[in-house]
Amino acid sequence: MLEINEIFGPTIQGEGKLVGTPSVFIRFGKCNFSCEGFGVEYETPSGIKKCACDTYYAVDTEYKDTWTKYKTYEEVVAKVDELISIYPYNYKIDIVITGGEPLLYWNKQEFQKLLEHYISAGHKVTIETNASLNLNFEHDYQKELLFSMSVKLSNSLEPLKKRVNINTLTSVLTNTKESYLKFVIGKDFLNDAKKEINQIISSIPKCDVYLMPLGDTADQINKNCEDVINMAIENGFKYCDRLHIRVWDNKRGV
Ligand code: SF4
C-alpha cells in the first residue's frame, strides 16, 4: 500500500540541482521526524495545536484520512499520466518523489516498481529525503536515482543520532552519480549551521552542498538570502533559491 498525500504538476522544480525543470511531484504521507523547530503552527483535524514543518499535512498522521491509498504502482502511474497528457508522447518529464519521508516506503515492492518504471522509461527521478533511514542498493535502476538529501540540523530539534546517518549518506553518494546535500538556513542560525554542515561533510564522500534561505514567503526569503549567499561564497557551497516560494509563497499543489 502506498499512502500518497498529493500528486501534482506539471510544475517546475523550485529548488535544488534541477531548479526550473518541469516536474510532477508525488508526495508520500508519513515522516519519521516532526521537526518542531521549524516553527510552523497548525491545528490538527481533531483541534490540537501543534508546531512542525511546512508540510505537516504530509507528516502528521492525523491527516491520514486525506491521503489516497494506492494498492499498486500502476494506479500512481495512471494518475501521473492524466497530469502529463498535455505533452507530446516522447517528452519525459522529471518525476519528484517527496514527502513526508518517502524512504519509509523504500522496502515496499510497489514503491520499487514505481521507481523502476520511471527510470526504465527514461525519466529523471529525484527522491527528496531527510536521508536518515537505512537503505540498501540492490538493483541497477536504483543507481540512476538522484537523491536530494535535506539532512536536518539542530534547529529542527530532532536528536543528532536520529537525523545524521553517515552510513546512508555514504551509501547514497557511493552508489549514485549526482546526489547532493541541501540545507535550509535562516539568518539567526548561520554559525551553528556552518559548524554542523562541516562536521557532516567531513565524514562522507565529496558532493555538492546547496544552501537555501529559510522562509515560506517571498518576503522572508528576501530577508534571509543575502546572508545565505555570503555563507555559500565563504565556504565553497552552492546557493540555491527557492523559486516556488518566490512565485507562489507557500501555496499547495503548484
Ligand atoms: S523531515 Fe522533512 S518532511 Fe519530515 S518533518 Fe522534517 S521537514 Fe517535515
pLDDT tens digits, 51-81: 999 899 999 999 999 999 999 999 999 999 9
Query: Domain holding 162: CATH number?
Result: 3.20.20.70
What is the number of other CB atoms lying within 10 angstroms of the CB of residue 176? 18
Please report whether residue 226 resides in a domain.
no
Looking at the DSSP assignment, which residues form a beta bridge with residue 41?
51
Q: According to the model, what pLDDT value does residue 167 have?
A: 98
Please report whether residue 246 resides in a domain.
no
Q: According to the model, what pLDDT value does residue 109 have?
A: 98
Q: According to the model, what pLDDT value does residue 47 have?
A: 94
Q: According to the model, what pLDDT value does residue 99 have?
A: 96
Residue 117 has pLDDT above 90, yes or no: yes
Tell me what the pLDDT averaged over the chain comes to.
94
State which ligand 1 atom lies nearest to the alpha carbon of 156.
Answer: 6
Beta carbon of 29 within 6 Å of any ligand 1 atom: no
DSSP one-letter string for 98-113 = ESS-GGGGTT-HHHHH
Q: Whose CA is nearest to atom 5 of ligand 1?
A: 34
Q: According to the model, what pLDDT value does residue 161 have?
A: 96
DSSP one-letter string for 205-253 = ----EEEEE--SSHHHHHHHHHHHHHHHHHHT-EE---HHHHHHTT-TT
pLDDT tier at 186, thresholds 50, 70, 90: confident
Please report whether residue 239 resides in a domain.
no
Q: Whose CA is nearest to atom 3 of ligand 1?
A: 100
Number of separate domains in the chain: 1
Please report whether residue 62 resides in a domain.
yes
Please report whether residue 74 resides in a domain.
yes
Residue 254 has pLDDT above 80, yes or no: no
Please report whether residue 201 resides in a domain.
no
Beta carbon of 101 within 6 Å of any ligand 1 atom: yes
Beta carbon of 25 within 6 Å of any ligand 1 atom: no
Element (H, E) at 77: helix 73-83
C-alpha cell at 58: 504530509
Please report whether residue 214 resides in a domain.
no
What is the number of other CB atoms lying within 10 angstroms of the CB of residue 190? 17
C-alpha cell at 158: 530532532
CB 66 within 8 A of CB 55: no
Q: According to the model, what pLDDT value does residue 156 have?
A: 93
- What is the span of the domain harbouring residue 38? 2-186
Count of CA atoms in the C-beta half-sphere (13 A) of 249: 4
Please report whether residue 223 resides in a domain.
no
Beta carbon of 53 within 6 Å of any ligand 1 atom: yes
Beta carbon of 34 within 6 Å of any ligand 1 atom: yes
pLDDT one-digit tens code per residue, 195-216: 999 999 999 999 999 999 988 8
Q: Decide the pairing of beta strands 94-98 and 209-213.
A: unpaired
Mutating to test ligand 1, I would choose from 133, 152, 242 the residue with most ligand atoms within 8 A of its C-beta, which is: 152
Question: How many residues are there in the chain?
Answer: 254
Q: Judge if pTM exceeds 0.75.
A: yes
